[in-house]
Amino acid sequence: MKPFKLPDGFLMGSATAATQIEGGDSNNNWFAWCESGKIKDGTSCIRANDHWNKYKEDTKLLKDLGHKVYRMGLEWSRIEPENGRFDDSVMSRYRDELILLIRSGIRPLVTLHHFSHPLWLCDVGEFESEKSIGYFERYVRYVVENIGDIVSEYITINEPNVYVTNGYFTGEWPPGKKDLSQAIKVYKNMALCHIAAYKAIHEIRARMGWDKAADIACTTEAHAASACVTSRTMVGVANHLRIFDPYSKNPLDIIAARVMDWLFQGAIIKSMTTGRLRFPIGFGAPLGKGRFFDFIGINYYSRSAVRFKGFKNDVMPGTPRNDLDWEIYPEGLYMLCKDFYKKYRAPIWITENGTCDSKDAFRAKYIYDHLYEISRLCEEGIPVERYYHWTLMDNFEWVEGESARFGLVHVDFETQQRTVRKSGRFFSEMCSSNSVSEEMIEKYL
C-alpha cells in the first residue's frame, strides 16, 4: 500500500435510503413485503434506525465525521400517503433535515425513488402501468416546489435494473413476479418516469430562478445555504454497474457475459440517458429527444462471473469475498468509470460503494482500494467528482434484514446506539484530507 491524494475539489461523504433507516412507515411496498415473511432474518423496515426521530443526532454524526456530501432518500409513501393527497407536515420535516445538513456544511443529494413507493401505487399497477409516469412526475413536482430553493442535486431513481431484476425476474423482492413481458414494461415506464422527472426538476428550478451557473460546494456553515441555492441543477440516475466476466474461456461463457452485461445495464442506461429504447426494451424507438442526465451516477460493489449453463452469475474461484459472498474487485470501478465516461462524457459521481463486513475486518482496506482506483482515474483526467460510501450506518438491508452490516457506524438495533467503527474513523480522516498518508496506512490498514 502507498499514500495517494485526491483532487482538492473532490467531495466525499455517505449515502442512505429512507426505507432502510427511517422506521415507522407501514404505508409502503417494503413494509408489506416484510409482513409477508420474506425477510431472511425475520426483521422489518418498521424498526430500522429510527432516523425519522433521530435525524438531528445522525446529522451531528455526519458533521463530526467530516462528511462533505450526503445522499439521502425521501419516502414517497409518507409524502403522498393517498393518491393525490400530499402531507405538507412531512415535507416540512424533510425540509428541516435538509436545512440542518446545509447549515452543518454538508451538501445534500436527494433520491426520489429508492425501491419503495406507496401502497396505493401498488393498487394501480405500480410501474407496470403507464399511469405511473404521471403519478411520479406529480410527486416530483411537489417535492421540488417545496425544497428546490435549497436543493439543487437529485437522483430520480435508484438502480432501476436491480428493482426490475429482483422484482420481475427472480421474484425475491416486491412485487415478487417472474414475468419477462412485465419486466420490459417496467423498464420502459421507469425510463419515462426518469425523463419526465428530469425535465420537471430543470423546468421548476429555472422558472423559479433557483438554477444558477455557479457550482459552489457547501464547505462552510457560513456560506452553506447560499451555496446550495446558487448551484446549478444536477439530475441523474444511480446506476448499479457491475463487471460481467466469463467464468471460463469457453466461448459460450464469453457470449453469456456479454449478453448479461447488455440485459442488466446496457439497455436500461441507454434508454434513461438518451431516450432511445434498445432491445430488450424496444427496437430504437425514441422516448424523447435529448440528453437526460447531468452526471453519471455509479453504484459499484462487485464483479459477476457468468456461466452460460443456467445463464447464472457466479464468483471467480479464489477471490476475496465479503460477508454476502460478493467478490471484492476494486479494479472493476476503474474499468467501469473509464468505459462510461468514454460513452457519455459527463462528470462521474460514485453514488454508492461499500461492503458487508460485520466484524469491520476489511472495510478500511476496501475503502482504500476503491478510492485508490479513483485517484488513478483523476490522474488520467477522468472527471470523478464525488464518492458516497454505502453506507453511513448499519441499516435494514432489504431481504437480508438487519443482519447485513454495511455501516461505517455500528448500530445496536435494540437500543439504537450508534458507535463509529475503525473504518469510519479512517474514512473520516480521508474526508478531511482528501488523501491517505503513511501514518493513516500504519494506523488503520
- Which residues are CB-neighbours of 403 under 8 A, at least 6 positions away? 40, 41, 43, 358, 397
State the total domains in the chain: 1
Is pLDDT at 228 greater than 60 in this prediction? no
Domain-embedded: residue 442: no
Quote the CA–CA distance of 411 and 334 in Å, as a whole number.
Answer: 31
Domain membership flag for residue 223: yes
DSSP assignment string, 141-187: HHHHHHHTTT--EEEEEE-HHHHHIIIIIS--STT----HHHHHHHH
Beta bridge partner(s), residue 304: 244
Indicate if the pLDDT at residue 280 is higher than 80.
Answer: no
pLDDT cut 70: percent of the chain above it? 94
* Cα–Cα distance measured from residue 337 to residue 408, given in angstroms and rounded to the nearest whole number: 24
Per the model's pLDDT, the better-predicted residue between 277 and 96 turns out to be 96
Task: Write the CA distances from 42 to 31, 373, 399, integer angstroms.
Answer: 12, 37, 9
**pLDDT at position 277:** 74
Domain residue limits at 164:
4-431
Residue 98 lies in a domain: yes
Tell whether the model's pLDDT for residue 284 goes beyond 70: no
Residue 200 lies in a domain: yes
Least confident range of 114-123, 170-179, 259-268, 356-365: 259-268
Residue 94 located in a structural domain:
yes
Of 73, 69, 56, nearest in space to 105 by CA: 69
**Residue with C-alpha cell 429527444?**
289
Confidence grade of residue 231 (pLDDT, cut at 50, 70, 90): confident
d(CA 156, CA 74): 11
Q: Identify whether 444 is part of a domain.
A: no
Is 439 a member of any domain? no
Place of cell 447560499: 226
Average pLDDT across the chain, whole number: 94
CA distances from 130 to 119, 167, 192 (A): 17, 18, 9
HSE at residue 307, side-chain half, CA atoms within 13 A, is 8
- Percent of the chain at pLDDT > 90 equals 88
Residue 329 lies in a domain: yes
Cβ–Cβ < 8 Å for 5, 375 = yes
The pLDDT value recorded for residue 289 is 74
User: Which residue has 406507496 as its cell numbers?
Assistant: 118
Query: Could you read off the pLDDT of 417-440 as tens digits, one per residue?
Result: 999 999 999 999 999 999 999 999
Q: What is the pLDDT of residues 205-227, one digit of tens each?
A: 999 999 874 444 444 444 444 44
- DSSP string for residues in 261-317: HIIIIIHHHHHHHH-B--TTT-SS-BS-SS---SSEEEEEEEEEEEETTTTEEE--T
What is the rounded CA–CA span in Å between residue 138 and residue 84?
9
Q: Give this prediction's pTM.
A: 0.95
The C-alpha atoms of residue 107 and residue 224 are separated, in whole angstroms, by 8
CATH code of the domain in which 158 resides:
3.20.20.80
Q: What is the DSSP string of 202-259?
A: HHHHHHTT---S------SHHHHHHHHHTSPPEEEEEEEEEEEEESSS-HHHHHHHHH
pLDDT at 281: 63
